[in-house]
């Protein structure tokens, strides 16, 4: 009887602890939604003045004149998307190559040091990347890379305008390269981790059938881990969309969108960082908050598209 009573007492305590744990996790989940809703409400409330005054033209107008109180967000919006696209074009192939090397080709004794070195890049503050980009990368781009692009790609009929203009060093292309370097450790680390989850039996079977290393990676490793790979890429894209200080140093901070990638530009985050302290007038401040709202919407769309893509990939694989 004593053992039965003791068992019932422990069972009662366990059920109470489980109920408390379940209630606390529900509270945390609801708290996240409440905070998200509060952010949305605050952004809409702050941007309402600018949206009522300028309407849909705020999204398609490039003019940004605080003196005349005329504002349009097209330049920072497109600048955000263009620099993020450059970062992905630059960062994804290099990240994929790093992950393949660390998991398939690298000697065992060198995997951990190289992996730790890649992960340490993610811990460098963005302002350090910005300073390095301004004093090291931008002069190198001005002296070597941009003149080469102007003389070669700039002479082509279709893509030539993208590489026209004087080699200033700073600009959209330089900002995209900085973002590519910054997102590289995030994407590479996730790809490496998911590549390590591939069962050795699958790879060894492919090697046994005469497949090369590239064929094993392309036909076995990548299909097996494509959900994780897409998730890592989207994580890097989210970082690129919201990066502020590093881009502010090297993009030029011009509210004018040029066809050339070598020309100065701006992004939403850079515009907020540069001008929010100077926004004395209500309409000026409201326009900046409207830019923040647009960035929130862009990020939400990207994350929703990523989630939809992951659901489609999971449904195809039957997991």
Identify any residues that bridge with 5 across adjacent strands, giving them in sequence order: none
pLDDT value of position 81:
92
Residue 91 included in any domain: yes
List, for residues 139-173, the tens digit of each pLDDT value: 999 999 999 999 888 888 888 889 988 888 899 99
Residue 130 is assigned to a structural domain of this protein: yes
pLDDT of residue 317: 59
CATH code for position 276: 1.10.3720.10
pLDDT band (50, 70, 90) for residue 300: confident
pLDDT at 51 over 60: yes
Residue 9 covered by a domain: no
DSSP state of 70: E
Question: 308 lies in a domain?
Answer: yes
- pLDDT tens digits, one per residue of 177-206: 999 999 999 899 889 988 888 888 888 888
**Contact status, residue 241 vs residue 295, Cβ threshold 8 Å:** yes
Q: In sequence order, which residues have a C-beta less than 8 Å from that of residue 248 and are 6 or more positions away?
A: 130, 269, 270, 273, 274
Spatial CA neighbour of 131 closest among 265, 274, 250, 272: 250
Average pLDDT of the chain to the nearest whole number: 86
Domain tally for the chain? 1
The band of 3, judged by pLDDT with boundaries at 50, 70 and 90, is: low
pLDDT band at 306 (very low <50, low <70, confident <90, very high): confident
- The tokens for 9 are 């007492």
Backbone phi and psi for residue 70, each to the nearest 5 degrees, phi listed first: -120, 120
Confidence label for 11 from pLDDT (cuts 50, 70 and 90): low
Does residue 28 lie within any of the structural domains? no
Does some domain include residue 22? no
| Whether the predicted pLDDT of 2 surpasses 90 | no
Taking each continuous run of H as one helix and of E as one strand, the counts in the chain are: 14, 2
pLDDT tens for 80-111 read: 999 999 999 999 999 999 999 988 888 888 88
pLDDT at 14 over 80: no
pLDDT band at 226 (very low <50, low <70, confident <90, very high): confident
Residue 188 within a domain: yes
Q: Cβ distance 24 to 35 under 8 Å?
A: no
pLDDT confidence of residue 105: 86
Establish if 167 belongs to a structural domain.
Answer: yes
Range of the domain at 63: 57-317
Helix (H) or strand (E) holding 71: strand 70-71
Answer with the residue of higher pLDDT: 11 or 244.
244
pTM for the model stands at 0.86
State yes or no: pLDDT of 220 exceeds 60. Answer: yes
């Amino acid at each position: 009887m004593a053992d039965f009573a003791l068992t019932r007492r422990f069972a009662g305590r366990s059920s109470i602890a489980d109920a408390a744990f379940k209630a606390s996790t529900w509270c945390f989940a609801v708290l996240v939604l409440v905070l998200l809703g509060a952010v949305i409400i605050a952004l809409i409330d702050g941007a309402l003045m600018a949206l009522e005054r300028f309407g849909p033209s705020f999204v398609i107008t490039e003019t940004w004149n605080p003196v005349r109180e005329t504002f349009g967000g097209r330049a920072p919006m497109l600048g955000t998307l263009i620099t993020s696209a450059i970062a992905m074009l630059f960062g994804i192939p290099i990240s994929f190559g790093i992950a393949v090397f660390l998991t398939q080709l690298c000697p065992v004794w060198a995997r951990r040091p190289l992996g730790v070195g890649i992960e340490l890049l993610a811990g460098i503050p963005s302002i350090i990347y910005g300073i390095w980009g301004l004093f090291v990368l931008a002069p190198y781009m001005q002296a070597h890379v941009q003149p080469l692009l102007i003389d070669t790609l700039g002479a082509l009929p279709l893509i030539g305008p993208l590489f026209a203009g004087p080699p200033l060093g700073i600009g959209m292309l330089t900002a995209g390269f900085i973002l590519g370097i910054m997102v590289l450790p995030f994407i590479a680390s996730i790809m490496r981790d998911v590549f390590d989850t591939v069962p050795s039996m699958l790879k060894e079977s492919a090697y046994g059938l005469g497949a090369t290393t590239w064929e094993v990676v392309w036909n076995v490793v990548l299909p097996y881990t494509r959900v994780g790979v897409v998730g890592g890429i989207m994580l890097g894209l989210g970082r690129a969309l919201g990066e502020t200080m590093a881009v502010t140093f090297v993009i030029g901070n011009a509210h004018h969108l040029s066809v050339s990638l070598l020309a100065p530009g701006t992004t939403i985050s850079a515009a907020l960082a540069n001008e929010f302290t100077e926004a004395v007038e209500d309409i000026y401040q409201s326009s900046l908050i409207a830019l923040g709202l647009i960035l929130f919407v862009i990020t939400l769309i990207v994350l929703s598209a990523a989630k939809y893509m992951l659901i489609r990939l999971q449904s195809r694989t039957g997991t």
